[in-house]
């Protein structure tokens, strides 16, 4: 690590606290090296805590679909409402020479499900940091097999700033964390290396050291000089003239790829909208709007790199589909579009009365014919072909009936428009949905519900096994696998049997509309 690299980690804050005398901390004695010279001091840390939830969607999956248990023991505790975990009793050191920290915490957390046959325990949790990086280490036991001292999650401290807690504690709030390769192996491929995990909050205190000597009773020195009786020079006859500015102030340049406005247009699936219209209701909220052929969602934040052909954009608003007679209540919100070259992913939060599946990798995007080049300061991806992922199809699944949709089945295309300047006006778009119902699979109008396999779904909305929807956990089978004895992943699936039972009425409505319900 470069010596002149500005430390943005625990090191800087603890050092500052010591320098300023916070909490009356004292540095321990310097360690002598072999040459008799004092080495860099090490500061002892105590009373540390680590607040970390591992992954919210995984906790929801264990407590929900998997009918499992979550147990925090040995000094760890879990917040109410299936919240995050707090690991306590942290002790360790801060090296003032390398600005590295190492802290060990008490506590263990165990996730177990008899129905889905898995048992995962995380114990002996430690945090290490140096510079802008770090890791959460732990011993992870999967179905009786333990991997010791693995880096479970990587820490990114590049944008984290220290705060001060009670008793002079240093607090580093919401440190971004991602799953490591070893962490993915520990969970048997359930998630992929680089997947986003819950943020972590680290709090530590410097241990109080004993005073090194007695305070002196008298001042050590006298003032060295008396003030002079006369001014040292005569004042200048006229004030100095300031230089006139040489030009007009310049406006700071906008960073490349900064997005100031944008929208996403999407209709989910034309045939599904037609099905809901037979006796249900569609409600938009949070800035989303109904348009011809679908809905538009307002931009919340986005980054564009046209040269690298990458977009990471988030959109607000929501659309809710309800069909009381068939027990359907689904809300789609927090849409995200992430692209890399010719491929992309549409992520969606899916909410039913059972709960919310966050960041479901809902659909794949085919950008092979799309251009990332800005025209008139607008980057526009028009009617990008989209298809269900296994996780997306799974949102419509039922343990007894299956899903009406399959992975790979076409849904309505997606149109994204992003403005790179205040003056650029976004085009008015009609949703760009098109007719994506002509694939002829997964029909509900004829009463055939169950073309999609529930067993190919996802855990708590997370695409498992790299987008295939299958994730083995142990020898017993798929973590996200569901069977006839497992409840639905979404309430629509729960109503699947009712849809099939009432297919005659739906069929009549379909004939009147002359529309295919796929």
| 8-20: b (≥16 Cβ within 10 Å) or e | bbbbebbbebbee
pTM of the shown model: 0.41
What pLDDT, on a 0 to 100 scale, did the predictor assign at position 27? Answer: 33
> Whose CA is closest to 294, among 433, 438, 387?
433
> Whose CA is closest to 91, among 199, 171, 203?
203
Rounded-to-integer distance, Cα 469 and Cα 393, Å: 10
CA neighbours closer than 13 Å in the CB half-sphere of residue 237: 0
Rounded-to-integer distance, Cα 429 and Cα 416, Å: 10
How do the pLDDT tens digits run along the chain, 518 residues long? 444 444 444 555 554 444 333 333 333 333 334 444 555 677 888 999 999 999 998 899 889 888 999 999 999 999 999 999 999 999 999 887 777 889 999 999 999 989 888 899 999 999 999 888 999 999 999 888 898 999 999 999 888 887 877 777 888 899 999 999 998 887 767 788 999 999 999 998 887 644 444 555 555 555 555 655 565 555 555 544 444 444 444 434 344 457 888 899 999 999 999 989 988 999 999 999 999 889 999 988 988 988 889 999 999 999 999 998 888 899 999 999 999 999 999 999 999 888 899 999 999 999 999 999 888 888 999 999 999 999 999 998 765 567 788 999 999 999 999 998 877 777 765 444 444 433 333 333 333 223 333 333 333 333 333 333 333 223 232 223 223 222 333 333 333 333 333 333 333 344 444 433 34
What pLDDT, on a 0 to 100 scale, did the predictor assign at position 49? Answer: 94
Residue 133's SS3 state is strand
Rounded-to-integer distance, Cα 92 and Cα 48, Å: 9
């Amino acid at each position: 690590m470069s010596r002149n690299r500005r430390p943005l980690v625990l090191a800087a804050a603890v050092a500052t606290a010591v320098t300023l005398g916070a909490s009356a901390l004292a540095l321990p004695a310097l360690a002598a090296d072999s040459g008799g010279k004092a080495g860099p001091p090490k500061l002892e840390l105590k009373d540390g805590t680590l607040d970390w939830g591992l992954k919210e969607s995984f906790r929801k999956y264990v407590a929900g679909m998997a009918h499992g248990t979550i147990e925090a023991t040995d000094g760890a505790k879990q917040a109410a409402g299936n919240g995050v975990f707090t690991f306590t009793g942290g002790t360790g050191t801060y090296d003032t020479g390398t600005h590295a920290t190492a802290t060990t915490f008490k506590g263990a957390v165990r996730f177990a499900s008899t129905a889905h046959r898995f048992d995962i325990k995380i114990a002996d949790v430690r945090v290490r940091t140096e510079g802008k990086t770090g890791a959460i280490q732990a011993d992870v036991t999967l179905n009786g097999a333990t991997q010791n001292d693995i880096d479970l999650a990587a820490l990114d401290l590049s944008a984290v700033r220290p705060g001060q807690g009670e008793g002079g504690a240093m607090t580093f709030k919401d440190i971004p964390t991602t799953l490591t390769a070893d962490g993915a192996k520990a969970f048997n491929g359930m998630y992929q290396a680089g997947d986003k995990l819950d943020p972590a909050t680290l709090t530590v205190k410097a241990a109080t050291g004993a005073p090194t000597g007695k305070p002196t009773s008298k001042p050590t020195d006298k003032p060295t000089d008396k003030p002079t009786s006369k001014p040292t020079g005569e004042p200048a006859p006229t004030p100095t003239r300031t230089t006139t500015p040489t030009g007009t102030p310049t406006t700071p340049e906008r960073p490349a790829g900064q997005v100031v406005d944008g929208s996403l247009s999407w209709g989910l699936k034309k045939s599904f909208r037609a099905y809901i219209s037979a006796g249900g209701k569609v409600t938009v909220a949070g800035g989303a709007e109904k348009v011809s052929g679908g809905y538009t969602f307002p931009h919340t934040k986005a980054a564009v790199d046209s040269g690298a052909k990458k977009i990471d954009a988030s959109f607000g608003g929501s659309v809710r589909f309800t069909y009381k007679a068939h027990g359907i209540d689904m809300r789609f919100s927090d849409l995200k579009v992430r692209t890399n070259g010719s491929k992309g992913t549409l992520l969606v939060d899916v909410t039913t009365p059972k709960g919310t599946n966050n960041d479901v990798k809902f659909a794949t995007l085919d950008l092979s014919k799309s251009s990332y080049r800005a025209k008139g300061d607008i980057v526009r991806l028009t009617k990008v072909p989209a298809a269900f992922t296994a996780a997306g199809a799974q949102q419509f699944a039922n343990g007894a009936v299956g899903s009406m949709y399959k992975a790979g089945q076409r849904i309505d295309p997606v149109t994204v428009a992003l403005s790179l300047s205040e003056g650029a006006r976004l085009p008015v778009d009609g949703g760009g949905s098109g007719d994506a119902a002509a694939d002829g699979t997964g029909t509900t109008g004829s009463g055939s519900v169950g073309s999609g396999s529930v067993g190919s779904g996802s855990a708590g909305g997370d695409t498992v096994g790299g987008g295939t929807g299958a994730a083995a956990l142990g020898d017993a089978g798929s973590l996200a696998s569901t069977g006839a004895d497992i409840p639905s992943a979404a309430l629509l699936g729960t109503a699947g049997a009712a849809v099939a039972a009432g297919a005659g009425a739906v069929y009549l409505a379909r004939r009147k509309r002359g529309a295919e319900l796929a």
